[in-house]
Structure 1
Amino acid sequence: MLSLILVLTFGFSIPPHKAISTESNVRDITTTSSEVNKDELYKKIEAYHEQFKIDPIDAKVDRVWKAMPGYNGLGVDIKASYKNMKKSGKFDKSKVVYKEIPPNVHLEDLAPEPIYRGNPQKPMVAFLINVAWGNEYIPEILKVLNDHQIKATFFFDGSWVKKNPDLAKTIKDAEHEIGNHAYSHPDLQQRSEAETLEELQKTNDIIYETLGIKPRWFAPPSGSFNKVTIQVAARLDMKTILWTVDTVDWRKPETSGMVRRVVSEVENGSMVLMHPTKPTAEGIETMIMGIQDKGLKLGTVSELMSEKRIN
């Protein structure tokens, strides 16, 4: 409009590249001004961040592994690092402050799908211990876990909790994570929506009444499920957990062979299925040490599903 007025009044116009500043021009001026104010130390820290930053990984639904959690990236907290070095005025790697960079897509953003593993970039493994029987082996398993300061996720059959409230409390008091394993060990693939809802809700109720806990994770008995199972669990604010590596301990395998196979198969993000059985009670310590020797940390399902980085 200004150009038109000048043409009509004085017979000339402002060339496009000399036009009055638009919003983008203002933004360019601000950026240039900011860059001028950065000293050499600040620029070195920025360059270090660009050189070493690790991009975050979004949660996704994988073709094979279904729902997979995201994983935080890592970068330099430029302002905090600059503050640490400003007094000396020199770049010092020991004074660099790092910060985790969250992904854009989280596990909670995905449609309900089963989860078979954690993020393959996270050097962590989780033990899934399904409990519907095998009371005699639980004390030894708890002792080994305690000796190695490891927390596992125990999935409780609801009817088992009703019959064994004191043992359920012992596991909870040892600060292990508690999940839902349905009420009567049903074949959920063959159950209706109403029957599935009753199995899961009844188990949640007995766990809450006994332990004061509302499970976040659900493990279908025998790994039997369908789309309805996943959706019912989601309605109850639970995600459905399967496994990456199976001990198959209920078949009573030879302990050392079972341990060797499991340790050879675990990798970043693996979830190992087991039960309170004689082979697991005998082999869990060797299994722990073998997994740790591979540079993998052991934690709960919640820790494995977390986007938090393992340093």
Structure 2
Amino acid sequence: MKKIAGIQIIVFCLIVVLSFGTVQNPFSSNYIDNLKQEAVTASKMSDPLYDEIVAAQKKYEEKPIDAVVDKVWKAIPGYNGIQVDVDASYKKMEEQGYFEQQKLVFKEVKPNVHLEDLPPAPIYKGNPEKPMVTLLVNVAWGNEHLPTLLKIMNDQDVKSTFFLDGSWVKDNPKLAKMIKEEGHEIGNHAYSHPDMKQLSSARIQEELQKTNDVIHATLEVTPKWFAPPSGSFRQEVVEIADSMNMHTIMWSVDTIDWRKPEPQTMVDNVLSKVHPGAMILMHPTSSTAGGLEQLIIGLKAKGYQIGTVSHLMDESRLSFGVALDD
């Protein structure tokens, strides 16, 4: 019995030693690395600089905004929040030893609800917290003005979304290719410029599909945005477009350029109504050709960036004067 008891004690001791060796062995590299990390963390936590950065985190934090279906404005995309990356900021300031706001590093925080999570609904504007606007150029005519619009946008380093009528693309493939080659986004504007609200389900499907087909065949692009001609639609149009992986795009500011106003009058009207997230409707007309440059200059002077619909719908924040953590 004594011999068995002795063996049991030896086995027990071996188990304890092995367990201690794998979990708490003070000579293992993992254990030493953990101790080092804990020491570094303790050192940071006791540094007044670290405390200042933590305090700044509370000061500069902005919560993300979820995408919503608004009662008036329908689908509105979300917008990322921002948060101070405490460790990255501390690392940037540690050597100098004092707090400097310009060296704060921020990271973006995504919302919980995204545009893709919403039920099918038209989009009239971007998120109102995003200082960006987009120019929507609906094209079914106005060929003579397109080169001027494209040159101005190129000179001003602006990219827009051109919504192309399918039959127009079929008849004007070179112009359609010119728009794409200039780096602009391509959207669907139906095939024959119909009143989409009055069409049967089958005709709605046909108008959208024929346009996507001719755009893909000509430009090797599949649109993800659809602009109803004359802004006419019913909910079924939105749902059919959604089933084809396209969001329905409307506008919040109208140039009314089809009435051929004086270019400066058009520019002043738009600039008086523009807002963060604005979607500005225009066409290739003489008024737009004559006023586009001043409009772009005016939008930039108001602090707006100008981008495509995809850029405006994206949740990413624009630069806000501080470093973003990659």
Q: Shorter-chain TM-score: what band? A: 0.7 to 0.9
SS in 2 for 1:182: coil
CA shift for structure 1 position 258: 1.4
Aligned residues: 278
Unaligned residue ranges in structure 1 (runs of 5+): 1-32
Q: Does 2:189 match 1:150?
A: no
| 2:55 is equivalent to residue 47 of structure 1 | yes
Q: 1:123 aligned to 120, 123, 131, which one?
A: 131
- Any idea what SS the aligned residue of 2:264 has? helix
Corresponding residue of 1:104: 112
Letter paired with 1:138: L
Counterpart amino acid of 2:161?
Answer: T
Quick one: which of 243, 256, 280 aligns to 1:248?
256
Distance between the aligned counterparts of 1:290 and 1:82, measured in 2? 40
The alignment status of 1:279 with 2:282, answered yes or no, reads no
Identity percentage of aligned residues:
57
- TM-score normalized by the length of structure 2: 0.82
Matches within 5 A, 1:188-267: 188-267=196-275
Shift of residue 95 of structure 1? Answer: 2.7
Q: Which digits, 9 at most, give the CA deviation of each residue in 1:271-309, with x for residues without a partner?
A: 110100110101111111111111111111111111111
Q: How far apart, CA to CA, are the structure 1 residues paired with 2:139 and 2:213?
A: 17
Distance in 2, matches of 1:136 and 1:146, equals 17
RMSD in angstroms over aligned alpha carbons? 1.5
Distance 1:111 1:94 in 2: 41
SS in 2 for 1:215: coil
Match of 2:303 in 1: 295
Which of 127, 130, 141 is residue 149 of structure 2 equivalent to? 141
What one-letter code is carried by the residue in structure 2 that aligns with 1:276?
P
Mapped partners of 1:161, 1:199: distance in 2: 13
How many angstroms apart in 1 are the aligned matches of 2:192 and 2:293?
30
1:90 Cα offset (Å)? 3.2
Moved more, 42-51 or 218-227: 42-51
- Whole-angstrom CA distance in 1 between matches of 2:296 and 2:93: 42
Counterpart in 1 of 2:171? 163
- Give the counterpart letter for 2:51 in structure 1: K
Report the equivalent of 2:81: 73
C-alpha deviation, 1:223, in angstroms: 0.3
User: How far apart are the structure 2 equivalents of 1:290 and 1:86?
Assistant: 43
- Unmatched runs of 5 consecutive residues or more in structure 2: 1-37, 320-326
Q: Which residue of 1 aligns with 2:26?
A: none
What displacement does 1:94 show?
A: 3.3
CA distance in 1, matches of 2:97, 2:224: 49
